[in-house]
Structure formats: structure tokens, C-alpha cells
Amino acid sequence: MPRLSDSMEEGTIVRWLKRDGDEVARGEELVEIETDKATMAYESDTAGTLSISAPEGTTLPVGAMIATIGDGSDAPVTEAPAELPAPVTESIEEPNQEVTEAIEAPSQPGERVKASPIARRIADERGVDLQAVSGTGPGGRIVKADVEASPTGASPAGSTAGDEASGRGVVTTTEPSRTQALIARRMAESRATVPSFNLQTEVDMTTATTLRAEMKASGGEAPVPTINDMVVKASALALREQGQANGAWRDGKFEHYSRVNVGVAVAGPGTLVVPTVFDADEKTLSEITTETGALAERVRSGTITPPQTSGGTFTVSNLGMFGVRSFEAVINTPQAAILAVGAVEQRAAVHEGAIEPRMLMVLTLSCDHRILYGADGAQLLARIKALLEAPLSLAS
């Protein structure tokens, strides 16, 4: 089982793209693997004869054996391994049998349903029972549109009648998806193991919001940056200046990173994914705007890949679009800090000695005290604030 992301601990074999005994070439796609963040195809790093040891649907830890690729000198396999599904028996009495694969047969109770990775993920998130869905894809395979057209709800196996006497009515339980289960575990581990502290500041975004309005009114071809894009750029520049914050605590040692890769928390259907803007300190604000928009769309469509969610050195989480003024985000371990971004609101403030309406935004920085001390965190937050209050400094 290959490690396809830096947080991956185990993977599930979704679909083998080659058959047992096939000859494969180096770089040829072998298998679709579902990780904690996405489903992606894994390519062979060598050439030879494929011998599969882990069937579809198997979940194994990173490093466990899923297949071997040999030079073909061994005796050919004459039986399916014990853990593999029994081979399909062909009959010459059925003229089309030789072109019929197992994927074309209707699913039986207990049999793994044939569905695309995206369809399986959406069904997981919406609580759709794939056994009850009719597939319209090749050979009856369930595709994304089939799941989206099905009524949502918990699968029958996850529903239990509640105790009416308790006043809760019927209680329905559902199994979390792999991503949801991993998020729950990582957040619990972060809270339990990271000695964190929080710092908060208020940023005057009046100049920034005015600049955005002027850019919109100009009707230029360049994409108009969101407030979050500005925060990402400001954070990246501040991290470049303060390298201690662009690091991690791992196995009792400090790690310092030469690249500034800012993760942006994006809410997907029933999950939370953090795609990465690599080298954000070296990209223009316009490039960051284009990239974050594309990454967010891939999260929502379920097409984000593990490489796009790996390698982050800092995280920005924004709930301002929901009207949240301020909040505390949970550190994405082993990173040193995470920045929580609140809503931009018009409020009375003192500006140049007079009280007047200003566009204000609250930033909350959560820091791992093993890496950053109070003064370190305060300096980082103050630098981000200064950059946002002088938005022209973000244009380069």
C-alpha cells in the first residue's frame, strides 16, 4: 500500500485496473486507491507480471502487501488466491458469456457494488445505499449522476429505532466516511496532544475592501481577489520573514521548511478538505486567486487529489462568509499554527482621532507552544495585520 499523502495511514483498494497475471509496463496505471483525502490511480514503478494479493474493497495500512510484480519466470498462477473473489465461470451455452465480465452482473446482497470512486464518495457522504441504486454506466456501473438522482438517507444497516420514552424519537446512526473518521481522529489528537494558545487582533480592512470594489468596477480581465486570497498572500509573506512559524514539531524535534505552502480549509459535501497553495509567498495575488478558486471547485466536485492536499506548512480557515465574527480553529498537526478568519463587518472605530464607520475583521491565530512562544505568535499576527491594512503591498 503506497503512501499517497503525508497524512495517509491506510488505504482502500477501490478497483484494480489490471488483472491478475497481466503484463504491466512501468508508469502504467494499476489500481485506484481511496485515501483519507481522495481517490487516485497508482502507477506501476516497474515492469513485469502482476500478481494481486489484496482484492477490491480491502483496507490495509501503508506498507502492507497489495500485489507483486515479477519477471514472469515463476510458475503461472493456476488458482485465485484464497482471499480473492472466486473466478467467474464461463459457459459455452451462453453465446455472450465470453464478453461478459463480473462488472456487468447485478449486485447480490453482500457483494461489493460496482461504482466509480466519485459515485462511491458522494453516496458515502449523503448516506445513499449503493445496493439500491441502478447504474447507468458501462456494464451497469454506478456513476455520479446515478447517486445524485437517488434519494438521500441513512443506509438500512445504519438505522435503529430509538427509545420513544426518551423523547428523542427514532434514532438513526450512520457510519462516517473514511475522511470524516480521519478528521475526527486528527482533531481529537490535536486537542489532546498540542499545548496551544490563541492570539487575536482586529484588522482594518477598509482600504482592502475599497480596492476590491475598484477592481470589480474596472471590469479588467484579472480575477478579483477575495478577502481570503489576501489573507493567504499576507500570511505567506509573513511566514517567509518569520521562518520559525513555517515549521513543525515532529518526533521531539523542530522542522523548518524552505517552501511556504499555505493550506486553505474548504468545506465539501459532508467533509472538510485542506488543499495547498504551494510557494504562496512567490505567487502573485492574481495567481493565488485563480489557484484557490480551482482547488475549491475540485474539493466540491470530489476530484481533488492527494498531492494537492499534501505539503502544507500553515493553514488558513475562514468562516467569515457565514457571518462568524471570530472563532478558534484546531491546529492541523504537525504545523506550528493555524489562522482563523472572521467576517468583514462595518463597525464604529477610531480612525485618525475620530469615530467613524470602518470595515473591520477579526483574526485569531492558534499556535503550538512547543514551536512558537507568545512573542513569536504576536509578531507573526502583527505582520499579517500590517500587510492587510496596506493591501498594495500584496500586489507584488
Residues 273 and 324 in one domain: yes
Angle subtended at Cα 138 by Cα 95 and Cα 22, rounded to the nearest 5 degrees: 75
pLDDT in tens, 148-172: 777 665 444 454 555 556 677 888 8
pLDDT in tens, 11-34: 889 889 999 999 999 888 899 888
What pLDDT score does 367 carry? Answer: 97
Residues 230 and 318 in one domain: yes
Q: Give the mean pLDDT of the chain.
A: 83
What pLDDT score does 205 carry? Answer: 97
pLDDT in tens, 308-348: 999 999 999 999 999 999 999 999 999 999 999 999 999 99
Phi, psi of 216 (to 5 degrees): -65, -45
Residues 109 and 65 in one domain: no
Q: Which domain holds residue 272?
A: 196-394
What pLDDT score does 106 carry? Answer: 45
Residues 30 and 132 in one domain: no
179: in domain: no
Interacting residues of 212 by C-beta distance below 8 A, sequence separation 6+: 224, 225, 227
In angstroms, the CA 197 to CA 373 distance is 9
With 90 as the cut, is the pLDDT of residue 130 above it? Answer: no
Least confident of 78-92, 227-241, 346-360, 374-388: 78-92
- Active site (catalytic) residues: 369
In angstroms, the CA 214 to CA 230 distance is 15
Residues 132 and 224 in one domain: no
In angstroms, the CA 129 to CA 140 distance is 16
Whole-number percent of the chain with pLDDT over 70: 84
- Mapped onto helix, strand or coil, the DSSP state of residue 114 is coil
296: in domain: yes
Q: Which of 26, 55, 70 is the last residue of a domain?
A: 70
pLDDT in tens, 39-95: 778 888 889 999 999 998 888 888 999 999 987 454 443 333 434 343 333 333 333
Instruction: Give the domain CATH number at 242.
Output: 3.30.559.10
132: in domain: yes
In angstroms, the CA 91 to CA 143 distance is 29
268: in domain: yes
Q: Count Cβ atoms within 10 A of the Cβ of residue 249 and give its class: 0-12 exposed, 13-18 middle, 19 or more buried.
A: buried
Interacting residues of 242 by C-beta distance below 8 A, sequence separation 6+: 376, 379, 380, 383
Residues 121 and 269 in one domain: no
Residues 57 and 146 in one domain: no
Number of structural domains (the chain) is: 3
What pLDDT score does 86 carry? Answer: 39
358: in domain: yes
Asked if 328 and 350 touch (Cβ cutoff 8 Å), the reply is no
92: in domain: no
Residues 240 and 379 in one domain: yes
4: in domain: no
What pLDDT score does 80 carry? Answer: 39
In angstroms, the CA 267 to CA 248 distance is 24
Whole-number percent of the chain with pLDDT over 90: 51
What pLDDT score does 165 carry? Answer: 60
Residues 24 and 137 in one domain: no
Place of cell 496551544: 196
**Mean pLDDT of all residues in 180-208:** 92
Instruction: Give the domain CATH number at 59.
Output: 2.40.50.100
What pLDDT score does 164 carry? Answer: 57
What pLDDT score does 289 carry? Answer: 96
